[in-house]
């Protein structure tokens, strides 16, 4: 085994053509989104975390607030925040780090499943003092999720060009929506949570998956 196999290396004109194609794509790298995507990873992560915290805090200020005595809300906040931190760290992983697809799949599943499971915590931690719920939970949750998804897409270097990344981003967006609702809505009533909180993530996932399918192209053109 002394001879290496010869591969058809591109000749000079082919190489120059490829270079021109790359330079043409680099020439389109202008504007705010290009600037965001080229920031160092720690800065992109800070931007993402700050954005999500602002949206969640705004929902909290408008709604039930931060005086969290409800056990269900405490557990929900803890569950959402924990998964959110890990999912966000993987989502904004530096481009030159090895991609752990099993971890990414696991976190995507966890991010999507957590909002489906958390409402059932109200069965083990009932809160009879729950006050009347605020209207528009789903509107608030979906708004936070959609704004989060748009921001995450702007920060993602492939522009969610890879389906696995897009799915994880949707999971993070859904978690953000539910996290916001955990501060916005004081209700621990299972039927309310299942009807107006839980579907937030799914209602973002399904249209986004359809959009990605329709888009078809997977190369990061932005």
Partner 1 sequence: MPTDEELMARYLSGDRDAFRELFRRYAPLVLRLVSRDLRPDEANDLVQQTFLLLHRARNDFKSDARLRPWLCTIAVNARRQYLRDTLRHKTLDREFAEARVDRGFLAVNDAEERVRAALAGLPADQREVIVLHWMQGLSFREIAHAVGASLGAVKVRAHRGYLVMRQALNPNDDGGE
In whole angstroms, what is the distance from residue 60 CA to residue 179 CA?
Answer: 10
- 214 in contact with partner 1 (CB under 8 A): no
Q: Which span sits near partner 1 by CB under 8 A: 23-31, 62-70, 71-79, 169-177?
A: 23-31
In whole angstroms, what is the distance from residue 115 CA to residue 126 CA?
Answer: 17
- 218 in contact with partner 1 (CB under 8 A): yes
Q: Which residues contact 206 (CB under 8 A, 6 or more apart)?
A: none
Q: Classify 81 as helix, strand or coil.
A: helix
Give the residue, chosen from 32, 124, 132, 219, that forms a contact with partner 1 under the rule CB under 8 A. Answer: 219
Give the residue, chosen from 45, 77, 162, 188, that forms a contact with partner 1 under the rule CB under 8 A. Answer: 162
Closest CA to 174 of 129, 115, 134, 218: 115
Give least dist CB 163 to partner 1, A: 5
Give the residue, chosen from 65, 94, 135, 207, that forms a contact with partner 1 under the rule CB under 8 A. Answer: 94
Give least dist CB 97 to partner 1, A: 7
In whole angstroms, what is the distance from residue 201 CA to residue 145 CA?
Answer: 7
The token pair at 42 is 């720690």
In whole angstroms, what is the distance from residue 191 CA to residue 115 CA?
Answer: 14
- 211 in contact with partner 1 (CB under 8 A): no
- 3 in contact with partner 1 (CB under 8 A): yes
- 109 in contact with partner 1 (CB under 8 A): no
Q: Which span sits near partner 1 by CB under 8 A: 55-63, 129-137, 155-163, 179-187?
A: 155-163
In whole angstroms, what is the distance from residue 65 CA to residue 83 CA?
Answer: 22
Task: Please name the residue ranges forming H helices in 65-198.
Answer: 71-91, 101-117, 121-124, 137-155, 163-184, 190-192
Q: Nearer to partner 1 by C-beta: 119 or 159? A: 159
Considering only residues 36 through 55, tell me which ones interact with partner 1, judged by CB under 8 A. Answer: 37-41
Tokens 């990605």, residue located: 212
State the residues that interact with partner 1 by CB under 8 A.
1, 3-7, 9-10, 15, 18-19, 21-23, 25-26, 29, 34, 37-41, 94-101, 157-158, 161-165, 218-220
């Amino acid at each position: 085994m002394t001879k290496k196999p010869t591969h058809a290396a591109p000749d000079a004109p082919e190489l120059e053509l490829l270079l021109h194609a790359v330079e043409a794509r680099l020439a389109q790298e202008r504007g705010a989104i290009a600037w965001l995507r080229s920031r160092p990873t720690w800065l992109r992560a800070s931007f993402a975390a700050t954005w999500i915290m602002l949206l969640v805090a705004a929902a909290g200020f408008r709604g039930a607030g931060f005086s969290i005595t409800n056990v269900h809300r405490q557990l929900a906040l803890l569950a959402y925040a924990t998964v959110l931190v890990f999912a966000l760290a993987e989502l904004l992983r530096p481009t030159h780090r090895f991609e752990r697809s099993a971890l990414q799949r696991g976190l995507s599943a966890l991010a999507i499943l957590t909002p489906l499971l958390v409402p059932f915590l109200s069965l083990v931690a009932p809160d009879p003092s729950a006050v009347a719920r605020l209207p528009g939970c789903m509107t608030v949750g979906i708004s936070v999720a959609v704004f989060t998804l748009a921001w995450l897409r702007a920060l993602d270097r492939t522009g969610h060009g890879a389906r696995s990344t897009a799915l994880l981003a949707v999971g993070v967006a859904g978690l953000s929506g539910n996290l916001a609702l955990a501060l916005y809505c004081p209700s621990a009533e299972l039927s309310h949570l299942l009807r107006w909180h839980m579907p937030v993530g799914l209602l973002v996932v399904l249209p986004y998956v359809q959009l990605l399918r329709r888009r078809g192209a997977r190369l990061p053109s932005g």
